[in-house]
Each structure stands twice: as structure tokens, then as C-alpha cells.
Structure 1
């Protein structure tokens, strides 16, 4: 498996864990909204995983803690690509 494929699987696993635990609840709300807008479940999860990736990138790049407000803001902007700030 290629490194990018491995990362993608990890991000999708985080999304699945968030959906299972309903934490944050906005993840499930976003999945439902995207599916209602016509995205497949798989494509909606990939879009949400982009928000996970963006948040983890911010944590590592800026050496700052996870920012749930930024993560939720990015979820609400989907299908637009997540912002870095």
C-alpha cells in the first residue's frame, strides 16, 4: 500500500470513529447533509476526511493543539475545500 493510501485509510478511520462515538456530532450532521445533497456515503466520508487531514496538518505545522471550532467550521464549508486557518 502506498503511503498516501495509508494516510487516506487512517483519516477515514478517524471519520468512522467520530461517527461511531458521535464526537463531534457535527461529523454525522455533515455526513447526512452531504448525502442529502447527492454525494455517496463514501464520497461524503472522503470530504470529511479532508477536514481531518487539514486539522492534523495545522496541528503539526503550527505546533498548536487541535482546534475543534476550526474543524467544525471546515465541516460546515464542505464540499468546499477546508481552509488552513
Structure 2
């Protein structure tokens, strides 16, 4: 199963939960940075969701757990999107 098989609204809900809980804090920091860069909130949330899906796909493909360091680096690179694996 690929992460894209998860309903988009579920992915967006996970991102919103990460922001609300500030866990990991980099998600809220990334949202704030993107908003300061003049992105609309919905667009910023969608970019963060793309990164989350990318990490979820990598977890499934590599049969590993969540890699916070990788997730952080991908978030820091936004608005540049991660390359397809």
C-alpha cells in the first residue's frame, strides 16, 4: 500500500494535528515560514502534506519506521518539493 491510498483528508488531518500539538515542532515552524513567504494557509498545509506522504511512502518502501531527521530536512526544503522516489 502506498501512502497516496490514504484519503487526502486523513493526511491533511494528520498535518493539522501535528500543527495543533506542535509535535514535531518543525511542522508548525514550517507552516509559519511558508505563511511569511506569502503562501495561503491551505497551500502551505498541502505542501506539508506532500512531504508527509513522501515520508510515509519511504517508510513503506524501505520497511522502516518514521525518520524524523529526513522529515525535518524535507520540510526545511519547502516550498521545493521532494523528488519522487
Q: Do the structures match in fold with TM over 0.5?
A: yes
Residues 51 and 74 in structure 1, CA contact (< 8 A), matched pair in contact too: yes
Judged with a 3 Å threshold, the aligned counterparts in structure 2 of structure 1 residues 58 and 5 are, in CA distance, closer, same or farther, namely closer
**TM-score, normalization by structure 1:** 0.88
Give the number of the structure with larger relative contact order, counting CA–CA contacts within 8 Å between residues 6 or more apart.
Answer: 2
CA distance in 1, matches of 2:61, 2:84: 10
Partner of 2:77: 77
Matches within 5 A, 1:39-78: 39-78=39-78
**TM-score, normalization by structure 2:** 0.88
What is the CA distance between 1:35 and its match in structure 2?
Answer: 0.6
Judged with a 3 Å threshold, the aligned counterparts in structure 2 of structure 1 residues 7 and 69 are, in CA distance, closer, same or farther, namely same
Gaps in structure 2 of 5+ consecutive residues? none
Partner of 1:26: 26
Deviations 1:27-85 (A, max 9, x none): 00000000110100000000000111001000111101110000000000001112468
Judged with a 3 Å threshold, the aligned counterparts in structure 2 of structure 1 residues 35 and 69 are, in CA distance, closer, same or farther, namely same
